[in-house]
Amino acid sequence: MSEVLVEIVDGVAVLTLNRPQQRNAFSRNMGRELGNLYRRFDADDEVRVLVLTGTPPAFCAGADLDSGADTFAAPTDDAFTASPVNPPAFGLRKPVIAAVNGHAIGIGLTLAMQADIRFVADGAKYAIPQVRRGVIPDAMSHWTVPRVAGMAAAAEILLTGRTFDGPEAVRLGIASRSLPADEVLPAALAIARDIATNVAPMSAALSKRLLWDTARHGFTPERVARYETELHHRVMGGADAVEGVRAFLDRRDPEWSARVSADWRELPWL
């Protein structure tokens, strides 16, 4: 049985971590499936937004502890990586929303940190507790958490490994909203559908890439200004720039024509 379920509706692909008996505990196969789906939908123009969630009542309980004390045994092959989902969500050209509808522990939370937007559940438990298990945080969390929430919050989250709830996740800056658990996925889907309808796919792709690459490479404000100007030259005068204004004035849904799969060009900073 697949460990990541897929449903596509109205331009939104919902990817659901699906090991309910293990509270969606992460496995190597789950990571491989998720990476394959990320690649597949990044190249699919019919999918404009991805939503990552988990089969209730958990989002992802973290590492599978069925091996007991050997859970974090030394790797026996060169295939081991602390970033087992490739590409990461921030590397896609489509917006990715994490609907963290239940407990997210360890890699369950560090994977959600790779998304663009996160909604969490009020009463769920959240933690990146690897330092309490004799290992260290994974999935590039030493990069994502400080850039999303700031260095002070990252140090508290990563170095204490402590557990917190949804409202505190918002206060710490790692989530946008905290909602009752059964409202998390509907809220994420509402945002996803709005993006899928009203946001030009190429505009979203270019803006997302500049946003994350600015964090990756530490672009100065002056460089960002230059790249924004170059990307404006790329999109201004195009069919979507005309359609966006016409649709707004006509009070109707826009009909976007640029295709990320076919029209994507190398970025000016690469």
Q: Looking at residue 66, what is its pLDDT? A: 67
Asked whether residue 103 falls in the same domain as residue 163, the answer is yes
Asked whether residue 159 falls in the same domain as residue 204, the answer is no
With pLDDT > 90 as the criterion, what percentage of the chain qualifies?
93
In a domain, 108, yes or no: yes
Asked whether residue 67 falls in the same domain as residue 184, the answer is yes
Sequence-distant (6+) residues with CB within 8 A of 236 are none
In a domain, 268, yes or no: no
Asked whether residue 234 falls in the same domain as residue 208, the answer is yes
Q: Which of 196, 189, 187, 188 is nearest to 47 (CA)?
A: 196
Asked whether residue 115 falls in the same domain as residue 235, the answer is no
What is the Cα–Cα distance from 104 to 26, expressed in whole angstroms? 11
Q: What is the CATH number of the domain that holds 248?
A: 1.10.12.10
pLDDT per residue rounded down to tens, the chain (270 residues):
799 999 999 999 999 999 999 999 999 999 999 999 999 999 999 999 999 999 999 999 998 766 666 667 777 777 889 999 999 999 999 999 999 999 999 999 999 999 999 999 999 999 999 999 999 999 999 999 999 999 999 999 999 999 999 999 999 999 999 999 999 999 999 999 999 999 999 999 999 999 999 999 999 999 999 999 999 999 999 999 999 999 999 999 999 999 999 999 999 998
Select from 195, 222, 239 the last residue of a domain. 195
Q: Looking at residue 70, what is its pLDDT? A: 60
In a domain, 205, yes or no: yes
Asked whether residue 144 falls in the same domain as residue 225, the answer is no
In a domain, 270, yes or no: no
Asked whether residue 34 falls in the same domain as residue 119, the answer is yes
Give the burial string for 101-124 (b: 16+ CB within 10 Å, else e).
bbbbbbbbbbbbbbbbbbbbbbeb
What is the Cα–Cα distance from 24 to 123, expressed in whole angstroms? 18
Asked whether residue 187 falls in the same domain as residue 235, the answer is no
Which secondary structure element, helix H or strand E, spans residue 81, and what is its range? none
Q: Looking at residue 72, what is its pLDDT? A: 75
Q: Looking at residue 63, what is its pLDDT? A: 82
Asked whether residue 79 falls in the same domain as residue 152, the answer is yes
What is the Cα–Cα distance from 139 to 233, expressed in whole angstroms? 35
Q: Positive or negative, the Cα torsion across 149, 155, 160, 161?
A: positive
Q: What is the CATH number of the domain that holds 75?
A: 3.90.226.10
What is the Cα–Cα distance from 18 to 55, expressed in whole angstroms? 5
Select from 172, 195, 218 the last residue of a domain. 195
Asked whether residue 185 falls in the same domain as residue 247, the answer is no
Q: Give residue 60's domain range.
A: 4-195
Measure Cα distances from 253 to 197, 235, 240, 249 in Å. Answer: 7, 19, 12, 10
Asked whether residue 46 falls in the same domain as residue 142, the answer is yes
Read off the amino acid at residue 115: A
In a domain, 151, yes or no: yes
Asked whether residue 160 falls in the same domain as residue 227, the answer is no
- How many domains does the chain divide into? 2
Q: Looking at residue 158, what is its pLDDT? A: 98
Q: Looking at residue 67, what is its pLDDT? A: 61
In a domain, 269, yes or no: no
Select from 195, 218, 234 the last residue of a domain. 195
Q: Looking at residue 61, what is its pLDDT? A: 95
